[in-house]
Chains A and B, each alone.
Chain A
Amino acid sequence: MKKPEGHIDHNNVVISIRGLRKSFGDLHVLRGVDLDVYQGENLVVLGRSGTGKSVLIKLIVGLLRPDAGTINVLGQDVDTLTVKELDQLRLKVGFSFQSSALYDSMTIRENLEFPLVRNVRNLSRQEINRAVEESLEDVGLSQTINQMPSELSGGQRKRIGIARTLILKPDIMLYDEPTAGLDPITSNDINNLINEVQERHRATSIIITHDLTCAKETGDRLAMLLDGRFERQGTFDEVFATNDERVQQFYHYNFIE
């Protein structure tokens, strides 16, 4: 399935990363990452477990600080922002956690409301309710509104996590393994949702995944993290058209042939 590329603006770089390095003690995770993400694009980041994919997007939202290099998001250098400026930027960047990270002392409704109530002033009760209901509908989980996160399955929690990040209609979405641990049908729903977010909100997304179906369905471009750098970038077919064993293994173990 080939996606239409009409809404990607190649003249407009929304995330630009140069020479990014990050280590934890002796563990050198990112070793000089360069990356540009264009307005309206879905960029899929591939890489084996522990290669630093989650670390990369945590650096983008300022949850971690780089050892070296620059990260520019929507024209702002993340590492030099004040707390207030960083908060302003974060409102434009949705972050869907690998672990869902739902607030387990709150109901689903309260989880979804949280970013709205705290960041958008003067919203009426009706407006909040409408936004919550719409987001829940987007992920097909309207019936869970009054439940607690602990009562939901892992896949449902994941979808609520995505709904919670979508509620502020961010310009950039960062999905950390959105389909991991989901059945193929739900995975397909999530893939469609990601594409819909791209089309409807004109959002730019980075999608981290191990799931090549997800990569193929949602990605306009793929980037593969190998040994702390993006060594291969391009369309799905371009990335896998190589004899590099590390890339080939990734492909073959994903599909049952």
Chain B
Amino acid sequence: MESTTTKPDEAATEKPVVTRRLDRVFLELYNVAAFVSRFFKEVLMPPYEGKEIIRQFFEVGYKSLGLISLTGFITGIVFTNQSRPSLAEFGATSWLPSLIAIAIVRALAPLVTALIASGKVGSNIGAELGSMKVTEQIDAMEVSATNPYKFLVVSRVLATTFAIPTLTMYTIFVAMVGAFINVNANEATSFPAFIEQFFGAITYLDVFSSVIKSFVFGFTIGMVGCYKGYHSSKGTEGVGKAANSSVVTSMFLVFIEELLALQIVAALRAV
């Protein structure tokens, strides 16, 4: 019953262009706020779409696993290789595993995972829900007494919220493997020594803040994709736009959140 369509700016016809634009911005902000708050309202209310959530979780994992394995591994190798000369200047290449551990766990793994997922999963959700909206499948769900917001949106957002942290852990692992191969080939560091240095350099706060950050990234990616799809305009063009703007918006938001997380974690470190 809660209508998904936005009110057309009725009063806007005779207003100057600037006011009309502003109206539209506020209307959009209102719609976003309503869409997001509906999530928190509905996520706690039964019935729970357990099966659908799990299916979507694996879908997210399955869709991005290949690409994340590749990028994570390459990131590990490349970052190690590029950092070596600067450390070599101080004769400190033995510190490579520690440096890499900090870079990967604190920044690279969450960011790489979130960006890949934005491109792969976010666009997919945007396109899928967009085409369901355009071809009246969402309306069809509603008239067969299924809450489409809960079935489609809540399940996808929960799936990405939990899948992205899981994938981030995995990215840390493959990036570490990449880094080890490079360090082993160049400095002949043994595996136990590498592991000891790697994990010696990171703190619980590092891991904890990365996981929390990834939850936020996952929530963002799912939410943006669903919002864009759910509000896509009619026609196949609308579907393309929904997919495209899902990627652009969620990547943008991921960087903003990364910046905020940096401030928060820095403040936490200070205490």
Contact = CB atoms under 8 A, between A and B. Distances in A.
Interface of A: 24-26, 58, 61-65, 81, 83, 86-88, 90-91, 93, 95, 97, 99, 101-105, 114-115, 118-119, 164, 168
Given A25-B8, A101-B139, A104-B137, A115 B144 contact: yes
Interface in B141-169: 141-147
B206 interface: no
A118 B144 contact: yes
Given A24-B8, A83-B1, A87-B145, A105 B128 contact: yes
Contacts of B132: 103
Contacts of B13: 26
A65 B131 CA distance: 23
B25 interface: no
Contacts of A101: 135-137, 139-140
B155 to A, nearest CB: 13
Contacts of B143: 61, 63, 90, 93, 95
B14 interface: no
A102 B139 CA distance: 11
Interface in B112-145: 128, 131-132, 135-137, 139-145
A163 B3 CA distance: 26
Task: Give 6 closest A-B pairs by Cβ, nearest first.
Answer: A101-B140, A87-B145, A115-B144, A101-B136, A95-B143, A25-B8
B135 A114 contact: no
B89 interface: no
14 contacts: A25-B10, A61-B143, A64-B3, A81-B1, A87-B145, A90-B144, A95-B143, A97-B136, A102-B140, A103-B132, A104-B131, A104-B135, A104-B137, A115-B144
Interface string B7-23: 01010010000000000
